[in-house]
Amino acid sequence: MPAMSSLSPGQTPPHGPQAPCDLERLDDKLGTLQALWHQHGDCYRVHSESRNADTWVINHPDWVKRVLVSNHRNYTKGIGIERVRVLLGNGLMASEGERWRRQRRMLQAAFHKRKIEAFFPVWFQQSTQLAAHWQQAAQSGVPLDVTAAVSEATLLAVLQSLFSDDFLRLQQEHGHNPFQLVSADSARDLQFAMKFRALGKLVQSVMDTRSRESRFPPDLLSHCMLARDKSSDEAMPDKLLIDEILTLIVAGHETTAAALNWVWYLLARYPEVCARVVNEARTLAMREAPAYSDLDAMIWIPRVIREALRLYPPGWLYTRRAVQEDHFGEHRIPAGSDVFICSYLLHRHPDFWEQPEAFLPERFSTQQVAARHRYAYIPFSAGPRHCIGESFAMTEMMIHLAVVAARVQPESIADVPLALETDVNLRPRDSLLLKLKVVD
């Protein structure tokens, strides 16, 4: 076991030689981080021989706040970002500095609640179709591959929000969904990156058609095409615009798919919580013409989603690199140090969460949230680089759950934890198969 230094906020850690531990190369990164945390506390460093550099691992909300919020300018994205850049180019996820700030300003308004409201009808319709399929599966008695089903559903949701009816046209022209590989192929290696980047041509073709016809439906692609930089009044160059669209496809699909997986898994394990969700879902389903504003009345559905994101945050590990020297408590973090923040472990910190392993959606009541350290819960990150799609994702997932759980519910499953896969997002290693029953 590697030697580390550990400390709680305000304590000075012991200095000394660090044993080698290439965290980023481990097969079981999460298990190792968990064991090291129990052994060494909320802040420790490991030395990577291959990079000849130290990595600081922090698991306390005070330091999370320092890295992501109060001193965020001192941190760039860290280990693994080159791999993301191969896939997503210079889109928002992987860019830095002035380019990132400019792009973020140009994209921000597209994710405003008022804009997201426009997606309600199409997401509602898609979820209604999905619910009908799940109802058939329930009636047939054959277990449903929930992993595949939510992956496909979230891909369709993001594609329609990006391309509106142009997506349906592309689908007709190709005879299938030309973006299908994003959901069908779970590898995120170089081969996938090459196939995925080739989809940029399709995005360009839609852009060209829209420009030629001066037709800009109210979707994310139109927003990006029409956005102008405030200071220069310039549009995004096409190449960068395509990087942004490819980024939104991947960032908007994988995380939401993983989150919904965990929601259904937890509902199957906790039938009494599931009963509350079904009840709330039925209230919405009974409305004559459900509307976006109906989501405001929901209590359990958003809490269940937030609690699932606590136990299984899809973005389970944030990596950063210190540009200049920093300090955590009294400890000096030299310039160039890597920093890891593991939200999976932070969300289970016993100083901030009672019964951390239990699935208790009531933790997300207004009072309990207000009483908790703001940075003990970061499924969408925090600070200026927090997820731009948080409201988009929450709305999409709430509609999905409200519509589907009004029609079907999972039969309860044994209290056996699913094996985790941590390669990119936190996902179940094997597909989640659930037997469903029709809601009476």
Give the interface with ligand HEM as residue ranges (CB under 6 A). 92-93, 104, 158, 247-248, 251-252, 255-256, 259, 314-315, 318, 379-381, 385, 387-389, 392-393
The nearer residue to ligand HEM, 13 or 264, going by C-beta atoms, is: 264
| Cβ-contact 55, 30 below 8 angstroms | no
Listed in sequence order, the DSSP H helices in 270-382 are: 271-285, 300-311, 343-346, 366-371
Sorted by sequence, the CB contacts under 8 Å of residue 69 that are 6+ apart come out as 375, 382, 383
- Residue 113: Cβ-neighbour burial (10 angstroms; 0-12, 13-18, 19+): exposed
Query: Minimum Å distance from CB 221 to ligand HEM?
Result: 12
The nearer residue to ligand HEM, 61 or 315, going by C-beta atoms, is: 315
Residue whose token pair is 């937890």: 266
Question: Exposure pattern of 338-359 as b/e (b: 16+ CB <10 Å)?
Answer: bbbbbbbbbbbbeebbeeeeeb
Helix, coil or strand: residue 202:
helix
The nearer residue to ligand HEM, 96 or 330, going by C-beta atoms, is: 96
Query: Minimum Å distance from CB 147 to ligand HEM?
Result: 15
**CA 131/CA 126 separation, integer angstroms:** 9
The nearer residue to ligand HEM, 47 or 188, going by C-beta atoms, is: 188
The nearer residue to ligand HEM, 391 or 412, going by C-beta atoms, is: 391
As beta bridge partners, residue 322 has 75
Query: Minimum Å distance from CB 41 to ligand HEM?
Result: 24
| Cβ-contact 56, 337 below 8 angstroms | yes
Query: Minimum Å distance from CB 381 to ligand HEM?
Result: 4
Q: Which two tokens stand for residue 358?
A: 């239990």
Closest-approach residue to ligand HEM (CB) = 389
The nearer residue to ligand HEM, 90 or 136, going by C-beta atoms, is: 90
Query: Minimum Å distance from CB 244 to ligand HEM?
Result: 8
Closest CA to 417 of 406, 432, 399, 404: 432
**CA 58/CA 45 separation, integer angstroms:** 9
The nearer residue to ligand HEM, 251 or 439, going by C-beta atoms, is: 251
Query: Minimum Å distance from CB 123 to ligand HEM?
Result: 11
What 8-state DSSP symbol labels residue 282? H
The nearer residue to ligand HEM, 131 or 260, going by C-beta atoms, is: 260
Sheet holding 43-48, edge to edge: 43-48, 53-58, 338-342, 317-322, 75-77
Query: Minimum Å distance from CB 62 to ligand HEM?
Result: 18
Query: Minimum Å distance from CB 15 to ligand HEM?
Result: 29
